[in-house]
Amino acid sequence: MFRTRDADVIIACASRVGNLDIPYDKYWGSPSKQKLIQIDVDPRNMGVTRPLTLGILSEVKFALAALVRTMQAGKGLTRKTESTASYREAMRQWRRKRFESVFAWRGPGLHPAQALQVIGRLFGGDAIYVTDGGNTSLWSHWFLPATRPRSYLNILELGMLGTGIPSAIGAKLGNPDREVVCVSGDGAAGFNFMEMQSAAREKLKLVTMVFAEGSWTMEEPNERRLFGCTFGTAMGTVRWDRAGDGLGCEGFVANRLEDLEDTLIRARASSRPAVVCLQTDREANLAIPGELMMRFAEVYQGPMGQ
């Protein structure tokens, strides 16, 4: 999805244009003023949530290629590499500002966002990533690399937990030649962790990483806001690597950033399904930037702070 230079037109490419893409008019702008062009191969996705100025039924790559040719023929498009560089720099500065606490983190403990950067560098953009859990999923959304189509599986706004491991198993069965990486919080992993025995029984070579700080972390801010305290959120220490060993997988554990890459390399090389217990820091996991947490909350509750 991208905007034209004057920001009066949005072109949505291969997007269902749901509330998760850009939630509500707060981010879209008023339909009476903001023009929307939608390109999609499925007519059922056209104009479902917002009125369209123009709907283009086409594979995106063909439609965009034709659009570029048309604009170039009319001299309406020029290649300005300096503009591209400035946009990339603006994005870099935006991330640096929003995630200042992540880049400055020096411990003690393992920051989930820093761990995800190591995971992304090692497995790259060709892997299938399956993410599950509360804050773990949010960190994953911001710090895992861009993937190929149909290669990033997440519960999105549906709100259920525990789908990560079963989804990863399904992804591996459907794509036996591709790497599948499951990233789960410890609360979410508890729902269906026994399915790792299914992975072992089917001899599936996948990597499941459980971010384990021993707490239902996403629930804590809500409980403090509503009741002034937390209750039932502490899980204690769970050694998911040992649980994986007991189910026929190969378990690994890491609690320091400097050890993580070597641990993941060994897990990746395992001939059995690998379970990596990442002993992440609870306070770091709680430190989702406020602006971005609000945008996540707006998916469920509607626009806030307008």
Q: 47: domain CATH number? A: 3.40.50.1220
Q: Assess if residue 89 is contained within a domain.
A: no
Q: Assess if residue 303 is contained within a domain.
A: no
Q: Assess if residue 294 is contained within a domain.
A: no
Instruction: Give the tens place of pLDDT for each residue, 31-87.
Output: 777 888 899 998 888 887 778 889 999 999 999 999 888 877 876 555 555 677 888
Q: Please check whether residues 222 and 136 belong to one and the same domain.
A: yes
Report residue 1's pLDDT band, with 50, 70 and 90 as the boundaries.
very low
Please, which residues bridge with residue 210 across strands?
184, 277
Q: Please check whether residues 59 and 115 belong to one and the same domain.
A: no
Give the mean pLDDT of the chain: 87
pLDDT computed for residue 80 by the predictor:
58
pLDDT computed for residue 70 by the predictor:
83
Report residue 250's pLDDT band, with 50, 70 and 90 as the boundaries.
very high
Q: Assess if residue 95 is contained within a domain.
A: no
Contacts of 102 (CB under 8 A, 6+ apart): 111, 113, 114
Q: Assess if residue 106 is contained within a domain.
A: yes
Q: Are 285 and 217 in contact (CB under 8 A)?
A: yes
Nearest to 14 by CA among 57, 48, 60, 62: 60
Can you read off the two tokens belonging to residue 274?
A: 């690998």
pLDDT computed for residue 184 by the predictor:
97
Please, which residues bridge with residue 11 across strands?
2, 37
Q: Burial of 249 by CB count in 10 Å (0-12 exposed, 13-18 middle, 19+ buried)?
A: buried
Residue 303 CA to its chain's centroid (Å):
21
Domain limits for position 114:
100-288
Query: Range with the lowest mean pLDDT among 65-79, 117-131, 223-237?
Result: 65-79
Q: Assess if residue 152 is contained within a domain.
A: yes
Q: Please check whether residues 69 and 124 belong to one and the same domain.
A: no
Q: Assess if residue 83 is contained within a domain.
A: no
Domains contained in the chain, number:
2
Q: Please check whether residues 203 and 139 belong to one and the same domain.
A: yes
Q: Are 163 and 132 in contact (CB under 8 A)?
A: yes
How many angstroms separate the Cα of 256 from the Cα of each of 106, 110, 285?
A: 11, 6, 15
Q: Please check whether residues 242 and 148 belong to one and the same domain.
A: yes
Q: Please check whether residues 38 and 177 belong to one and the same domain.
A: no
Q: Does the pLDDT of residue 193 top 70, yes or no?
A: yes
Strand 54-57's sheet: what is its strand order? 2-3, 9-13, 35-40, 54-57
The amino acid that residue 39 corresponds to is I
Q: Please check whether residues 113 and 73 belong to one and the same domain.
A: no
Q: Please check whether residues 140 and 267 belong to one and the same domain.
A: yes
The better pLDDT of the pair 261, 306 is held by: 261
Q: How far apart are CA 139 and CA 132, in angstroms?
A: 11
Among residues 19, 46, 78, the one where a domain terminates is 78
Q: Are 83 and 52 in contact (CB under 8 A)?
A: no
Q: Please check whether residues 71 and 105 belong to one and the same domain.
A: no
Q: Assess if residue 156 is contained within a domain.
A: yes
pLDDT computed for residue 205 by the predictor:
96
